[in-house]
A and B are shown apart, each in its own frame.
Chain A
Amino acid sequence: MDPQLTEVNQFLGRFTAAMTRRDFTNCDSLLVQLKVLLTKFPSLPPSFQKTPNAVQELSIAREIYEHAVVLSVKNEDQDAFERDFHQLKPYYTDTRDIIPPSSQEYQILGLNLLRLLVQNRIAEFHTELELLSSSALENPCIKHAVELEQSFMEGAYNRVLSARQSVPNETYVYFMDLLAKTVRDEIAACSEKAYAYLSITDAKRILMFSSDQELTNYVTQEHIEWEIKNGSVFFQKTKESSPCKEIPSLQLINQTLSYARELERIV
């Protein structure tokens, strides 16, 4: 066996051991070394040289980047997630005919969809979605993300929240928690427009707060214009278009003059 491959394998062994110990700082340093070692493999993207070790090299590189993505979720580092995912993606798209598909593929793709949803990058979410085959859409990990997006668009927020209980994998929990925060802001924005007022108990339930204190804190921090009195939260109504009392003469004169000027040019 190629000495470089053996070396990478040893490192990977230590890395997975550290992952199971949940020793993430150690994982980080090992991962950096692994990535440096990977640069020596000639068969990896973008060069794709057809070396005799290509299959082993590609599969091990893919495994390392899969671990890197999962590790970034554990470290709650979204930027690292994005970087690692983009490094991993060519292994899913461009090496299909060289190495067998990974068992982790859909889980990771689903995670990425969820991340885009959390960051409210809906356009990219749909672009990624187009890349998936119809059989991939049936996969529980992908389906989870797709259904979340739909409920989110429709406004069925309680469905989004109850989806947290049915996550297909524990790594999804981190993003689901982030999503809950986004959902709360959405609900607050909708309630503001839809209700004239809400009793404090109802507002607490709708906005998912466990105590009155949390609700008051939220109101003072995020929506200072809401009023809390007589045991209810009053939302400020937006100004409605009131019947016009007088003719806006100056504006009308200006407009008519500009029509005249334009017509002059035509005739």
Chain B
Amino acid sequence: MGQERDVEMKEVADISNSDEHSSPAPVSKTIPTVQSLKEIVSMIEVGAYSKEVRRIARAVRLTIGIRLKITTSVILSFLSTTLQPGSEAHARLTSYLPKVDEKGNTVDLAEFPPQGSSKSPPEVEIYCYLLCLIYLIDQKCYSQAKACSTAGITRIKNMNRRTVDVLASKLYFYYSLSYEHTNSLSEIRGNLLSLHRMATLHHDELGQETLLNLLLRNYLHYNLYDQAEKLRSKAPRFEAHSNQQFCRYLFYLGKIRTIQLEYTDAKESLLQASRKAPAAARGFKIMCNKWAVIVRLLLGEIPERTIFMQNGMKNALVPYFELTNAVRIGDLELFRTVTEKCSNVFSKDGTHNLIVRLRYNVIRTGLRNISISYSRISLIDVAKKLRLESDNPVADAESIVAKAIRDGAIDATLDHTNGWMVSKETGDIYSTNEPQLAFNSRIAFCLNMHNEAVRALRFPPNSQKDKESAENRRERQQQEQELAKHLAEEEDDEF
């Protein structure tokens, strides 16, 4: 699970590269940061008044960009200018912040005279919660982060505004993250479920998406695959809103399916997750690749060497490379040594039980090799070559070969009286219909792919209406709102 944590950081990692000075900003530098925070807030205000969710989403993105420049004094001066002084939110948020800044100097609250605007929309308040939370998590003050996020969540529960949804989904995410760092994820499960229910009732799809992923993560953290699958299969599905959330969903789905032996579907989701993940999310990609390798091995495929040679993943994937090698050769002895040697890695990745399942695949590949090399071989030799260690290797070998024949792994027959395995002559495949069928299915696949792609083409919604300028639109919306208000009032009068 350790490396998976990188997943959480990926949105951050995108931006942190562009940020050269990660050292705490001196006081002189706090002013530009506060200034940019104020710009963000005004953007949120405009977004809130004009009901444009897109502006708020942009504000959140910008915040992540200046994340590393934030210090205690920046936050304090920002809070005292934005929130109403003496208000409940202001008092509460300042109480969570550390009283000592990065250089060990005590920060005096009196240094930041309250000059807050009197009236700000609730979006700004939630934004302040989010900002404090991100800062606290960055400073590793997890217990304060827990308190701060819990307070923020309680506040959100009493709001029903679609413009808060973007901020709320971020807040949910950090809420879960702060509990994960303090190792108390199971405490918030009930809360997350009720939030998910609320988001569903409010048709808040982004919130549903985020919360579903957080819940899946919560269950999988405790290996509760059964509950996770039950929730996943019953939760409403819709087109993904956020790529990151969709990647996570695919990864969790892949994990669940692997455990439940639906390897083909699992492979598809895991590969898709690792392809869709942004390049900066290295930890996430590594994890996806690890699981995908095992699933492909369980399916009887051998992953290509290039998978293990990808940039920045080489070292992390070494144990899995050795494992693949053992399965490819079909050597039980080598398989056993690799499993023992890397058991630490495997149990840390939570893949240990899956690797135990691989033993059968090793035997099968071994048998296939034998069956190709020999046209007739005694069962005693088969047992010896497979290095079966048991009291009665020949009887074991016989039933194992029998099962492999039934599963279609090898094409052979058994001669019980002589104790032989006789491989069948491979006939000329080109004398049958087989190649033609394979060719047909490939062409059908390509044509289908083309059709799907055409169907998936997206067109901007109502491209004609979009021609009116943003100004006009805002005006029109305002008029519509007033009209709606009038209508509502008239209705009230009637009763």
Which of A's residues lie within 8 Å of B, judged by CB?
Answer: 122-124, 126-127, 129-131, 134, 146, 150, 153-159, 162, 186-187, 189-196, 198-199, 202, 206, 241-244, 248, 252, 255, 259, 262, 265-266
Contact = CB atoms under 8 A, between A and B. Distances in A.
B360 interface: yes
Contacts of B261: 122-123, 126
B396 A156 contact: yes
Contact of B259 (A130, A156, A252): A130
B447 A262 contact: yes
A150 B360 contact: yes
B226 A127 contact: yes
A266 B363 contact: no
B413 A130 contact: no
Interface in B398-433: 399-406, 412-417, 427-428, 431-433
B431 A243 contact: yes
B432 A154 contact: no
Nearest to B224: A131
Interface of B: 223-226, 259-262, 347, 352-353, 356-357, 359-360, 363, 390-392, 395-396, 399-406, 412-417, 427-428, 431-434, 436, 440, 443, 447, 450-451
Given A131-B224, A150-B359, A155 B450 contact: no
A159 B434 CA distance: 39
A244 B432 contact: yes
B268 to A, nearest CB: 17
Nearest to B403: A155
Contacts of A199: 416-417
Given A131-B224, A244-B433, A266-B450, A155 B417 contact: no
Nearest to A202: B416
Contacts of A198: 416
A129 B391 CA distance: 27
Contacts of B392: 158
B405 A193 contact: yes
B427 A243 contact: yes
A243 B434 CA distance: 10
Main secondary structure on B side of the interface with A: helix
Contacts of A191: 402
A157 B260 contact: no
A243 B428 CA distance: 8
Contact of B414 (A146, A195, A266): A195
Closest 8 CB pairs of A and B: A155-B403, A194-B402, A190-B402, A243-B431, A123-B260, A193-B406, A194-B405, A130-B223
B299 to A, nearest CB: 14
30 contacts: A122-B261, A123-B259, A123-B260, A124-B226, A126-B357, A127-B259, A129-B353, A130-B353, A131-B224, A150-B356, A150-B360, A153-B357, A153-B360, A154-B403, A156-B400, A158-B399, A186-B403, A190-B403, A190-B405, A190-B406, A193-B402, A194-B413, A194-B414, A196-B413, A243-B427, A244-B432, A248-B433, A252-B436, A259-B447, A266-B450
Contacts, number: 108
B492 to A, nearest CB: 43
Contacts of A187: 399, 402
Contacts of B416: 195, 198-199, 202, 206
Contacts of A154: 359-360, 363, 400, 403
B184 to A, nearest CB: 12
A255 B392 CA distance: 53
A262 B443 CA distance: 10
Contact of B347 (A131, A134, A262, A266): A134
B247 to A, nearest CB: 23
Contacts of A153: 357, 360
A146 B357 CA distance: 10
Given A153-B360, A196-B413, 20 more contacts: A134-B352, A150-B359, A154-B360, A154-B400, A154-B403, A155-B400, A156-B400, A158-B396, A159-B396, A187-B402, A190-B406, A191-B402, A194-B401, A194-B414, A195-B413, A206-B416, A243-B432, A244-B432, A255-B440, A262-B447
A64 to B, nearest CB: 24
Contacts of A130: 223, 225, 259, 353
Contacts of B225: 127, 130
Given A130-B223, A131-B223, A134-B352, A156 B406 contact: no
Contacts of B428: 243
Nearest to B353: A129
Given A150-B360, A259-B443, A262-B447, A194 B406 contact: yes
Contacts of A124: 226, 260
Contacts of A193: 402, 405-406
Nearest to B401: A194
Nearest to B427: A243
A156 B399 contact: yes
A241 B434 contact: yes
A126 B352 CA distance: 12
A153 B409 CA distance: 14
A254 B385 CA distance: 49
B432 A156 contact: no
A244 B437 CA distance: 13
Nearest to B223: A130
Nearest to A186: B403
Contact of A156 (B390, B414, B417, B433): B390
Contacts of A196: 413
Contacts of A192: 406
A154, A187, A195, A266 interface centre (most CB from chain B within 10 Å): A154
